[in-house]
Amino acid sequence: MIRAVESSPQVSAPVLAAYSYCETVTGQQARNFAYGIRLLPTSKRRAMSALYAFSRRVDDIGDGALDGEVKTARLEETRALLARVRAGEVEEDDTDPVAVALAHTARTFPIPLRGLDELIDGVLMDVRGETYETWDDLKAYCRCVAGAIGRLSLGVFGTEPGARGAERAPEYADTLGLALQLTNILRDVREDAEGGRTYLPADDLAKFGCSAGFDGPKPPEGSDFAGLVHFEVRRARALFAEGYRLLPLLDRRSGACVAAMAGIYRRLLDRIERDPEAVLRGRVSLPGREKAYVAVRGLSGLDARHVSRRTVRRHP
């Protein structure tokens, strides 16, 4: 069992201000993520915002316009800040609100901070311009940038006392992170190509005649782009199916948070599957009312109960 530790209601003014800053960053920069975490109790919502704000800083360095050497130096500076957090060296009056909030979160919840080191490792792979020959290669990258976030989040959520199979919760959280990241990769294939990045495995691209890349609103001449997208959608769906086994292991509100975030991405996947070329024409997204519906569905526990019934059938 992984038990989350609830924070004390007595939180100092500087720490509250730091959390407020992180929640503002999250609300402005991560609409899908924000829909999920608003279902959490205050202490967990703040902690998730701190994790997001730190992660966003790392991502922004990797996605910025600086040259590679400067990005690498900035990322290593961020790693040094993480080491200070890990060593308990960040005081409440520190001038960096993200560091203050993350330090408080690390004292309050059993989060595996090494996961943020893995995130930095993954972004360094982006800075180096690495490409991926096989799914196994891409999976290693996805585990750094998304699976690790799943495991960090589990440190905040904890698992329900006595939940059957709770020892596999980190594995499920990691797999759900992979599902979300692969959906992101499909959604952003045109945007990434314009930035000079290719994430889909080279052997998959070759199999479907897409090795020329995606530099416009139409697929490469003579390619089976729809076949490629449907192949990757099936892979993502299999990851979702496995990762969703995390839901029955969580308390109601943590499960609702995960179900909401994952549900939004699953619906994105449905849209991409129905119209594969949409990802080449622009950014595929869900309207706010649909996100709200997914959040209500998660809070109702429908997804968790569905997974529980399916698991019982598989393992009588």
Confidence band, pLDDT 50/70/90 cuts, at residue 261: confident
| Stretch 217-246: mean pLDDT | 96
* pLDDT for residue 7 is more than 50: no
Does the pLDDT of residue 298 top 70, yes or no?
Answer: no
pLDDT at 60: 96
**Token couple for 233:** 């959608």
Position 178 scores a pLDDT of 97
Average pLDDT over residues 27-52: 88
Residue 306 is predicted with a pLDDT of 54
Chain-wide mean pLDDT for the chain?
90
Per-residue pLDDT averaged across 178-198, rounded?
94
For 268-302, b/e burial (b = at least 16 CB within 10 A) is bbebbbeebebbbeeebebeeeebebbbeebbebe
pLDDT at 150 over 60: yes
pLDDT at 300: 60
Contact 157, 4 (CB under 8 A): yes
Other C-beta atoms lying within 10 Å of the C-beta of residue 13? 8
Could you tell me the pLDDT band of residue 303, with boundaries at 50, 70 and 90?
Answer: low
**Given pLDDT bands bounded at 50, 70 and 90, which one contains residue 51?**
very high
Pairwise pLDDT comparison (218 vs 5), residue with the higher score: 218
pLDDT at 139 (0 to 100): 97
Give percent above pLDDT 70 in the chain.
Answer: 89
How would you class 79 by CB atoms within 10 Å of its CB: exposed for 0-12, middle for 13-18, buried for 19 or more? middle
The answer, yes or no, to whether residue 2 has pLDDT greater than 70, is no
121-145: average pLDDT: 96
d(CA 228, CA 140): 20
User: In this structure, what DSSP letter does residue 270 have?
Assistant: H
What pLDDT score was predicted for residue 302? Answer: 54
pLDDT band for 301, please (50, 70, 90 cuts). Answer: low
Spatial distance between the Cα atoms of 147 and 179, rounded to a whole number of angstroms: 9
Would you place residue 160 in the very low, low, confident or very high pLDDT band (cuts 50, 70, 90)? very high
Mean pLDDT of 86-112: 97
Q: What is the pLDDT of residue 135?
A: 98
Compute the distance between CA of residue 156 and CA of residue 44 in angstroms, rounded to an integer: 6
In which band, very low, low, confident or very high, does the pLDDT at 38 lie, cut at 50, 70 and 90? confident
